[in-house]
Structure 1
Amino acid sequence: MNIGYRLPEVTFHTRVRDESIEGPNPFRWEDKTTADYFKGKRVVLFSLPGAFTPTCSTYQLPGFENGFGDFAAEGIDEIYCMSVNDSFVMNKWAIDQDLENVKVIPDGSGEFTRRVGMLVRKDNLGFGLRSWRYACVVNDGVIEAWFEEPGLSDNHGEDPYGVSSPETVLNWLKEDSAEKAA
């Protein structure tokens, strides 16, 4: 993905809590667009192969969640976690992970992921189409920095993790802030 690239306009089908709905599932459908998430904000977006998977749940998501204050200190307004999972799965994972800072974006059909060139086959794991692991800093819908794990390919035998880690992204933000201040 190229620095300076504008994110594709996609509609995400989300489920949002609605207190006017009675019963055990007080949620309604709400379509949100790329602009709804990214317009006028500087954000970190990270994407991963799947909710509830080991690396995602143990390292990447908790690292961004727990480090939110450090990211905010570097001018980040929001941190978004995206996966090629539907809204039901993403919302349940957010609850399971006790998220307060990171917001989840369901890319259930993989349209956004496909359009940024990160959609890969993970049939070797029984996953089907999923996102390759990456992170980026996005300013008003435009990519400022891109952190892609090495080896982008279908049915990769491993799940590389490091380049898109919270620590790597935060270090880049700190260096960028220092360069702008100099």
Structure 2
Amino acid sequence: MKAGLPLPQVTFRTRIRDESVDGPNPFRWQDMTTADYFAGKRVVLFSLPGAFTPTCSTYQLPGFENNAETFANFGIDEIYCLSVNDSFVMNKWAENQGLKTVKVIPDGSGEFTRKMGMLVEKSNLGFGMRSWRYAAIVKDGKVETWFEEPGISDNHAEDPYGVSSPENLLEYLQKEAAGIAAE
């Protein structure tokens, strides 16, 4: 599918804590590029329909966070969660989830998701344009292995989850480490 392809080059508008900013909201804008996140690293990237949504908040994000050490043991440098949500929402969700390891990437305009071919309409849920659920192992900005939920389509009646689960990625990495060809 997308294995071997380079990630699209985009600029993400992020908000980062900066204690030099006065007031009750000590954050400033910082542009981050695809290269800033992915160059020279082997990472897990997973994308989901929305922050604070049930499957994303109950299973997918906590599963990656809780297994961060195991991923590191398989040579994963970073774990990134991307969603078509703005930086304010992604930062608040990360705080709400108590994230220590997984880092969130806001794709507020959906530019990265669109260029990945994963932007779908979810108006049936009142979401508008969002990401289809997927995960990838990315090495130095190129997709090494791709995990996409089945049935990608606009206004899909269901929210498939399993292929892009942390458990499935760990199973792949275990087989890879054992020298077994992954399916």
TM-score range, shorter-chain basis?
A: over 0.9
1:178 aligns with 2:181: no
Q: Determine the structure 2 residue equivalent to 1:161.
A: 161
Could you tell me how far apart the structure 2 residues matched to 1:27 and 1:78 are? 23
Q: Determine the structure 2 residue equivalent to 1:20.
A: 20
TM value normalised by structure 2: 0.97
Which region of structure 1 is more displaced relative to structure 2, 171-180 or 134-143? 171-180
Q: Determine the structure 2 residue equivalent to 1:77.
A: 77
Could you tell me how far apart the structure 1 residues matched to 2:128 and 2:166 are? 26
AA aligned to 2:148 is E
Q: Determine the structure 1 residue equivalent to 2:5.
A: 5
Q: Determine the structure 1 residue equivalent to 2:35.
A: 35
Q: Deviations over 1:72-94 (max 9, x none)?
A: 00000000000000000000000
Could you tell me how far apart the structure 1 residues matched to 2:173 and 2:78 are? 14
AA aligned to 1:141 is G
How many residue pairs align between the two structures?
A: 180
Q: Share of identical aligned residues, percent? A: 74
Q: Is the partner of 1:61 in helix, strand or coil? A: helix
Gaps of 5+ in 2: none
TM value normalised by structure 1: 0.98
The alpha carbon displacement at 1:179 in A equals: 1.3
Q: Deviations over 1:35-59 (max 9, x none)?
A: 0000000000000000000000000
AA aligned to 2:118 is M
AA aligned to 1:56 is C
Alignment of 1:90-101 (within 5 A): 90-101=90-101
Q: Determine the structure 2 residue equivalent to 1:60.
A: 60
Q: Deviations over 1:109-162 (max 9, x none)?
A: 000000010000000000000000000000000101100000000000000000
Runs (4 or more) in structure 1 with deviation over 2 Å come to none
Q: Is the partner of 2:145 in helix, strand or coil? A: strand
Q: Is the partner of 1:31 in helix, strand or coil? A: strand
